[in-house]
Each structure stands twice: as C-alpha cells, then as structure tokens.
Amino acid sequence: MMPFSRRLLAGLCIAVLMNTGVGVIAHAQQRGHGDESDEDKAQDKAKKDDEWGDRTLSLKKQHAEGPCPYVKVLYDAARFHEFKDGKETSGAAQWTGEINGVNSDCAYKGGEPIQVGMDIGFSVGRGPEADGQTKVYHYWVAVTERDKTVLAKQDFELPVTFAAGEQRRDVNTRIDGIIIPRKDATVSGSNFEVLVGFDVTPEMAEFNREGKHFRFVSADEQKK
C-alpha cells in the first residue's frame, strides 16, 4: 500500500459540551457547504491554531489505562462514486473511492485527555469518463459521544494523481493529533466513538445504503 502521511496540524480538540455538525452526520456528510471568504478561512485557521496548537503523538511509547474509543467507517459514506450524467455504468464512471479500513491506537492516564492516532486505507479509481489525471477526494473524521452527540468534525483532502493508464491505486494516510478531553478519570475511551467517511452527496449515500459497489481492479489484480 502506498504511504501517504498526514498530520492533523491544528489538532482535533474535543470539548465535552461541544455540539457541532449533528445534522451533517445524520445526512451522511452531504456536500455543498456555504462559501467562505479567504479572510474568514484565515481567521478560522488562526483561531484553531491558537486554541489547539500543534500536538505530536508518540502513542507506541505510551499506554492507555483504559479502552480506546471505538473507531468506525460510516457505512453510508464508506464509498465514493462519480458517474457522468448520473449513469451508474462502468462506461460512465469518472472517479471511485473506498475506505478499506482503519487501524487506530490511543493513549491516556489518570484524568488526562485521550490521544488518538489512526491509519486509514483507501482504494481510489479513475474511470473512462474522468477529467484529467488528478482527483482531490474529500473525507472527514468526527468524534461523538457514543451513540449520542457529535462533538466535533474535521475535514481533510486526499489528492491523488493517477499514472497514464492507471485505473486504481491504494493509498494509506496517517492522522495524528486527535485530542479528546475528559471530565475526569472515570470517563474512559469507551464513552467516545470516532467516525470516518467520504464527503458524499445524498445520491452517493443512497447508492451506498442500497449495497451497490463499484471499483476498478489494479494492474496486479488484472494479471491474476
């Protein structure tokens, strides 16, 4: 799998009483956010940097005194498909994507915040109707109180450039710096859930809910 490292530079600091993006998760992270000016984006980034700072994890050198948060791929947003003119056929395929899985680790002790890091595996594809060789996939990571409120959500970009004639590529990306504060030492990681998914349209979410699946095979798979 091709490595693609990513640090969550601003961190993902979750305040216990935060409540952002509840409707977004409920609607499988539908695309179409309002436009922001460059000034607004710059101010937002500066605020995040000031509040959260840059945190570096060394989870493999630390230990968790309790269970880690549950990490899941949201089913409705696990796959990404774009077809020309909405025709769901292989000949009309433009871009595809699939989250193959997530491996995570965590560390915390006493009443300290929970630190979470994860590796996300993607399989992405370029169809015959794709425009160009490069596609920027959009995905998100959200933290929730388990089965309850969405506490915070962070959006990410995954730019992929396909070689000439290449239909599919496997990509692995690492995210570090997810920090989840706790009220006290009695609140363990099992009280939280970390969700991952593509930024999808309502049509894509319905496509996924119906169990439809479409992806290109790699050159190695074609040889088998």
User: Does the residue 175 lie in any domain?
Assistant: yes
Parent domain of 145: 2-30+46-192+210-215
Is the per-residue pLDDT at 53 higher than 80?
A: no
Is the per-residue pLDDT at 29 higher than 90?
A: no
Q: What is the pLDDT of residue 140?
A: 97
Is the per-residue pLDDT at 15 higher than 60?
A: no
Q: How many domains does the chain have?
A: 1
What single string gives the DSSP state of each residue in 89-156?
Answer: SGGGEEEEEEEEEEEEEEEB-TTPPEEEEEEEEEEEEE-TT--SSEEEEEEEEEEEETTS-EEEEEEE
User: Does the residue 199 lie in any domain?
Assistant: no
User: Does the residue 159 lie in any domain?
Assistant: yes
List, for residues 115-163, the tens digit of each pLDDT value.
999 999 999 999 999 999 999 999 999 999 987 889 999 999 999 999 9
Q: What is the pLDDT of residue 149?
A: 87
User: Does the residue 220 lie in any domain?
Assistant: no
